[in-house]
Homo-oligomer: A and B are copies of this chain.
Amino acid sequence: MSLGQELIASRVEAFRQMLADRGQRATSQRLEIYRYLLETQLHPTAEEIYRALRERFPAMSLATVYKTLELLGDLGLVVAVGPPDGPSRYDGNPEPHINVTCLGCGAIIDLEDEQVAGWKEAVAKRSGYTIVASRHDFLGFCPACRK
């Protein structure tokens, strides 16, 4: 499930290129936040990203994390997932897939599913909407939290 260094690097590079095309700046904060999201499998909250990157960027602010996450969302590189209550969690995999969220501890795991990938067009046709993203959250309890 992990992405591999060279794939991560190429995605970060693609991000840099998208910024250049839009006349926006590839700051180290933006690149590192995106890289961290690609590296981790933990679907962190904004706060968790902030704390994790604070070690390398002691001066970075939480507001910058939020602004960058919004930018990444607009570019379609990151989607917000997770339970309706509690803070949003961010997923660096924008392709349609299934998230399984534990209501006890907040852990989220991904499941790939080729059925989901084909749904976007079917839903667009049935609804008349232009679809830009989708979320598939299953809420429940992981084995450790079941008791």
Which residues of A come within 8 Å of B, CB atoms? Answer: 80-81, 84-85, 88, 98, 100, 102-103, 109, 111, 115, 119-120, 123-124, 126-143, 146
Known: A98-B123, A135-B136, A138-B120. A130 touches B111 (CB 8 A): no
The copy count of this chain in the complex is 2
Structural contact, B129 and A135, CB atoms closer than 8 A: no
Known: A115-B115, A123-B100. A143 touches B131 (CB 8 A): no
Structural contact, B143 and A128, CB atoms closer than 8 A: yes
CA A58 – CA B3 in complex, angstroms? 56
| Of the residues B115, B124, B132, B139, contact of A132 by C-beta under 8 Å | B139
Taking CB as reference atom, which chain B residue is nearest A120?
B138
